[in-house]
């Protein structure tokens, strides 16, 4: 588990332990990948890329004891997740509506791909004009500020090289509370969509995200995960823009997770302890300088 999430999300860690898991903060001293990171930065807060490196190494060197399954980024994962969008198409038909806008949080790409890809198909084959908007944190802006290049999917370079929008495989994000969105790259299908202008990408700051989450909770009685709240924030933006323009706009967003295990993040928000963070361009440039030469 990414070290900063291990610290910020104790209840997610506890529920895994309740089912018998042994949860280790990453980077750890249990793998060569983790040790190499800690040698460079003993205080590293970790990243999804580092955790992937450790997981791949553990699976590859365990003589079959461990198996590794990746739940985002890879194209087959996105295709599996499209059951969400396919069901949504039918739900919209039952409601007698069709979305003008589809928005979802985006980190590795599976949330967004799951809801948006079936609507992309309708745009390409049925003449629909739905806008597709992926929403990422301003602190981890792989689409909006990354480079479209070949890069490793993990921090140490154990995995394959993939062409994607990336901030560099050794990128270590700020410790924002939307842990599931702190990935340096993006699924190749989503990157191709963005490169061809078939979707939009927006970066949202942390405080706006939690403001949207609280507004949604008070309106709907559902506490969203910090990750999912990024999509809610842009749905609110779109609704306000439609109101100002006097337009009817059908807005669909993917509520992809509840926040019951993230109440420490809400507690920090209500206590005024959260801050917005803009990732420095010099740090992006430094990370991109380490891209593999292809």
For residue range 138-196, list pLDDT tens digits in order: 988 999 999 999 999 888 888 788 999 999 988 887 777 777 788 899 999 999 999 99
In this model, does residue 48 exceed pLDDT 80? yes
Residue 66 contacts residue 58 (beta carbons within 8 Å): yes
Domain membership flag for residue 238: yes
* 96 and 191 share one domain: yes
Domain membership flag for residue 13: yes
Residue 163 contacts residue 148 (beta carbons within 8 Å): yes
Distance separating the N- and C-terminal Cα atoms of the chain: 31
- For the full predicted model, state whether its pTM sits above 0.85: yes
Using alpha carbons only, how large is the chain's radius of gyration in Å? 19
- Give how many domains the chain has, as a whole number: 2
* 182 and 222 share one domain: yes
pLDDT at residue number 160:
81
Domain membership flag for residue 68: no
pLDDT tens for residues 247-273? 999 999 999 888 888 888 899 999 999
Q: Smallest Cα–Cα separation from 52: which of 149, 183, 151?
A: 183
Q: For residue 20, give its domain range.
A: 3-60
* 95 and 214 share one domain: yes
Residue 206 has phi, psi (to 5 degrees) of -65, -40
pLDDT at residue number 27:
93
pLDDT at residue number 171:
83
pLDDT at residue number 277:
84
* 36 and 177 share one domain: no
Q: Which two tokens stand for residue 150?
A: 């070949």
Helix (H, G, I), strand (E, B) or coil at 72: coil
Q: Smallest Cα–Cα separation from 228: which of 219, 217, 238?
A: 217
Residue 173 contacts residue 182 (beta carbons within 8 Å): yes
Domain membership flag for residue 69: no
* 55 and 83 share one domain: no
Residue 111 contacts residue 190 (beta carbons within 8 Å): no
Instruction: State the CB neighbour count (10 A cutoff) for residue 35.
Output: 13
* Domain limit, last residue, from 60, 88, 104: 60
* 155 and 229 share one domain: yes
pLDDT at residue number 127:
96
* 21 and 116 share one domain: no
51-60, 119-128, 218-227: least confidently modelled range: 51-60
* 166 and 82 share one domain: yes
């Amino acid at each position: 588990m990414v070290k900063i999430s291990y610290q910020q999300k104790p209840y997610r860690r506890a529920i895994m332990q309740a089912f018998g898991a042994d949860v280790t903060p990453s980077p750890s001293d249990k793998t060569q990948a983790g040790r190499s990171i800690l040698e460079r930065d003993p205080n590293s807060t970790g990243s999804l890329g580092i955790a992937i490196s450790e997981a791949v190494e553990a699976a590859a060197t365990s003589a079959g004891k461990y198996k590794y399954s990746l739940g985002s980024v890879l194209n087959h994962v996105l295709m599996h997740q499209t059951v969400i969008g396919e069901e949504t198409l039918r739900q919209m038909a039952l409601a007698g509506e069709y979305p003008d806008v589809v928005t979802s949080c985006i980190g590795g790409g599976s949330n967004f791909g799951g809801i948006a890809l079936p609507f992309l198909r309708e745009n390409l084959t049925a003449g629909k004009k739905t806008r597709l908007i992926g929403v990422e944190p301003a602190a981890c802006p792989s689409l909006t500020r990354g480079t479209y290049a070949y890069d490793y999917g993990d921090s140490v370079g154990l995995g394959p090289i993939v062409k994607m929008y990336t901030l560099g495989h050794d990128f270590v994000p700020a410790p924002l509370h939307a842990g599931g969105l702190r990935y340096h790259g993006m699924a190749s299908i989503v990157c191709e969509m963005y490169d061809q202008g078939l979707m939009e990408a927006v970066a949202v700051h942390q405080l706006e995200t939690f403001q949207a989450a609280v507004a949604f909770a008070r309106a709907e009685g559902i506490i969203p995960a910090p990750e999912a709240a990024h999509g809610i924030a842009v749905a609110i933006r779109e609704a306000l823009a439609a109101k100002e323009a006097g337009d009817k706009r059908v807005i669909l967003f993917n509520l992809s997770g509840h926040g019951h295990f993230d109440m420490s993040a809400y507690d920090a928000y209500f206590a005024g302890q959260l801050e917005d963070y803009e990732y420095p361009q010099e740090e992006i440039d430094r990370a991109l300088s380490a891209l593999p030469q292809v």
